[in-house]
Amino acid sequence: MTAHSAALSQLALGLSLLIRPFRRKKAAAQLSELDDHLLKDIGLTRFDVNAMRRMW
């Protein structure tokens, strides 16, 4: 691996780490908008969604 590709790899990792909280917040908001029936269809409960929000 060249120094250039290593630097790009580090930059990509850094950007990924910066973006992750925003993506998680968006996912949690989207799950929170679903009704209990839809959550059950995908194997989740309201408790799961709330617990996930606290963990993130």
pTM of the model: 0.69
Residue 1 lies in a domain: no
Q: Show the tokens assigned to 44.
A: 């989740």
Provide the residue range defining the domain that includes 33: 21-56
Beta carbons of 49 and 32 less than 8 angstroms apart: yes
Task: Give the end-to-end CA distance of the chain in Å, rounded to a whole number.
Answer: 34
Question: Which 8-state DSSP code applies to residue 30?
Answer: H
pLDDT at 15: 94
| Position 53 confidence tier, pLDDT thresholds 50, 70, 90 | confident
**Region for residue 43 given its phi and psi (left: phi exceeds 0; alpha: psi -120 to 50; beta: otherwise):** left
pLDDT 10s digits, 28-38:
999 999 999 99
Residue at 52 is within a domain: yes
| Residue 28 falls inside a structural domain | yes
Domain count, the chain: 1
